[in-house]
Amino acid sequence: MKKNIVAVYPGTFDPITAGHVDVIRRAAKIFDEVIIAVNGNSLKNKKPILPLQVRVKLIRGIVKNISKNIQVDIFRGLLVDYLKKKKVNVIVRGLRAISDFEYEFQMALMNRKLAPNVETVFLMPSEEYTYLSSSLVKEIVGLGGKMKDLLDRNVEKTLKKFLKIKK
């Protein structure tokens, strides 16, 4: 009997970038179902520019054309509690560079400590996105730069609106 393998790709996605989308495409080919879990927590170290519902709407607009096995959801609290609620034991994380590794490795081990049945799968984006981050995108757009091929046009337009950038 074939087992239906579901994975959760968590993040703040503030904003979702072409790198995120690349990881989502890869995950959708590997797993039977992928849940993009948008972090709805108020975090000390991350102050999203885009409101939660705006991020969710933007992500849904992008993934609807990728695959039917992708859904978008919101989670609050600990990720492992969300995984338990959804009965999922696989986390997908993007790994761009060595600089990501230490943090992601630490998070994977803590998640395993909190929920021993949870496995973290790291996916590398295409080489063209290895330097791309939401923080960098916000800085470039905030300074009037163009994000052609690195950010969905609707995402860029929405980000400009929230950053109050004139055309």
- Active site amino acids: 20, 46, 96, 134
Strand partners for 56: none
- 42 burial via Cβ count (<10 Å: 0-12, 13-18, 19+): exposed
Q: Of 148, 147, 149, which is closest to residue 163 (Cα–Cα)?
A: 147
- Annotate the chain with three-state secondary structure: CCCCCEEEEEECCCCCCHHHHHHHHHHHHHCCEEEEEEECCCCCCCCCCCCHHHHHHHHHHHHCCCCCCEEEEEECCCHHHHHHHHCCCEEEEECCCHHHHHHHHHHHHHHHHHCCCCEEEEECCCHHHCCCCHHHHHHHHHCCCCCCCCCCHHHHHHHHHHHCCCC
